[in-house]
Amino acid sequence: MEIVNPKTLTDKVTSVISHVVVTSASKLAFISGQVSVDETGALVGSGDYYAQAIQVFTNIKYALEAARADPLYIAKMNIFVVNHNPELISIIFDAGFHVFGANWPKTASTYIGVQALADPEWLIEIDAIVIFP
């Protein structure tokens, strides 16, 4: 996977994402939108964006492990946040760094503020596209 951040695009966001990801991979995995529920289906972090983000990224990590994929294989993430405001960006990305540490995937990403998700208690949902080398 080749990460491309051209000088003609801002470097303001490239500490957490990449502008372009180029791959010739023939095997892909698509991780469905993960929300803040544990393996029993119980909500984790009611009303708490950070706690929910930790669980969501943990669920992404579990999905990657099940697919036998390294976090650095993530080519694209879509991050949906209920009632987004600018202060939530660092809260959510800090949770991702907490879960993945040095393996934080600087992937092509889209961060989308939404009015609601499928369950009114869910505050964050993330899906991902994973490539295999």
Q: What are the chain's domains?
A: 31-132 (3.30.1330.40)
Q: What is the dihedral of CA 44, 37, 80, 132, to 10 degrees?
A: 130
Mean of pLDDT over the chain: 94
Look at the chain and count its residues.
133
Give tens-digit pLDDT for 26-71. 799 999 999 999 999 999 999 999 999 999 999 999 999 999 999 9
Structure tokens at 44: 């984790």
pLDDT at 56: 98
**CB-CB contact of 120 with 87 (8 Å):** no
Distance, in Å, from the CA atom of 11 to the CA atom of 42, rounded to the nearest integer, reads 39
Specify the 3-state DSSP secondary structure of 25. coil
The confidence band for 13, taking pLDDT boundaries of 50, 70 and 90, is confident
| Predicted TM-score (pTM) above 0.85 | yes
